Amino acid sequence: MTTVGIIANPAAGKDIRRLVAHGRVVSNQEKANILRRVFAGVVSTNADRILVMPDHSGLTRPASHDVDGRISIEYVDMPVADHQGASTNAARAMVDQGADCIVTLGGDGTNRVVAKGCAEVPLVPISTGTNNVFPANTEGTLAGISAGAMATGIISRDEACNRSKRIDIYVDGTRRDDALVDAAVSTQMFVGARAVWDTSTLHAMFLTRAEPASIGLSSIGSRIMPIPIDEEYGLYIRLDGEPGPNATTVRAPIAPGMISDVKILDWRKLSPGEKIEIDLQPGTIALDGEREVELLPDQKVYASLSMDGPWVVDVPKAMRLLATR
């Protein structure tokens, strides 16, 4: 049975950066409208089933009504999504239930937790969050067509997908967490409101990619060394301590409507598998823009670049391939 999974985060696009910056608010109505387009695209490919993560907002109800009787729609057997880990659990369940491709609605943070559970199943991420480096501003109809084409085998993962990188965070020898785009070490001691917008609190950064047309912390790196998704290296930036040979100052958009001058004390390329110790304690590590890991005394913490992140469908490339078949 060919299956497309749907994970839509109702909380994406609504965090504190609407108050401290000028982040857009993506309403649940708009997300529901996007999903209507996604469902229409999936149905057009003759996929057999859509598998949905349940949520309190019922984001997929209008879309399900649109395609009633034209495709099997099932909900993952799990508690209704009301916390961050639900997206990870939903992705794992979808893999177990035979999902061939998963469409996500959210930002970098949403896709980070989905990637923990999607294994080798490719993602089609649609941007509805705040800092959207990982997900693209993809039209829902095209996202649905691409996901359906992947599920039905019209196009293959090897020809239409890119493999993402990730930053792994190890604490006392055990991988604690990871980031798809950026891991930022902050002098702030508590997770708090999670989002990071004050660059004066940053101690160091690890980037998988640094694209000039992006927004968020990774845009800082793009001002010194642009790194696309397919380059086999990352970037390490130090913002606290003694100046090194590459000291400089850059101006970058670190949040919607917030452009800051950032003093960089040193930077260099980060190779796959290379381990860099994080010696700030106490403090926190923000993963893809949100503080997640607290740094406690006597812990041994280091970051490493991995090339084994999630597979991501290149929608424009997928559509070009479909045009020839």
Pairing status of strand 275-278 against strand 301-306: antiparallel
Location of each CATH 2.60.200 domain in the chain = 166-306
- What's phi and psi for 97, nearest 5 deg? -95, 15
Q: Tell me: pLDDT of 210 over 90.
A: yes
In degrees, rounded to 5, the angle at the alpha carbon of residue 7 between the alpha carbons of residues 168 and 100 is: 85
User: How far apart, in Å, are the Cα atoms of 66 and each of 36, 69, 105, 165?
Assistant: 7, 9, 19, 37
In the chain, residues under CATH classification 3.40.50 are 3-164+310-323
Averaged pLDDT of the chain: 91
Residue 140 reports pLDDT greater than 90: yes
Q: Is there a contact between 63 and 32 (Cβ–Cβ < 8 Å)?
A: yes
* 222 vs 317: CA distance, rounded Å: 24
**Are 51 and 99 in contact, with CB atoms under 8 Å apart?**
yes
Residue 192: the pLDDT is 54
**Contact in structure between 190 and 196 (CB atoms under 8 Å):** no
pLDDT at 129: 65
Contacts of 58 (CB under 8 A, 6+ apart): none
pLDDT at 83: 66
Of the candidates 30, 12, 198, the residue with the CA atom closest to the CA atom of residue 114: 12
Per residue in 171-199, pLDDT (tens digit) is: 999 999 999 999 999 988 766 555 666 78
Cβ–Cβ under 8 Å, residues 122 and 150: yes
- The architecture of the domain spanning 3-164+310-323 is 3-Layer(aba) Sandwich (3.40)
For 112, the token pair is 């980070």
For the cut 70, the answer to whether the pLDDT of residue 106 exceeds it is: yes
> SS3 for 27?
coil
Strand partners, 252: 260
Token pair belonging to 203: 């101690």
The set of long-range contacts for 277-281, using a CB threshold of 8 Å and a minimum separation of 24, is: 277/301, 277/302, 278/169, 278/185, 278/204, 278/302, 278/303, 280/185, 280/187, 280/203, 280/204, 280/240
Q: How far apart are CA 152 and CA 218, in angstroms?
A: 35
User: Could you read off the pLDDT of 219-237 as tens digits, one per residue?
Assistant: 999 999 999 988 999 999 9
Q: What is the pLDDT of residues 263-310, one digit of tens each?
A: 999 999 999 999 999 988 889 999 998 888 999 988 999 999 999 999
- Which architecture, in CATH terms, is 166-306? Sandwich (2.60)
Q: How far apart are CA 144 and CA 139, in angstroms?
A: 9
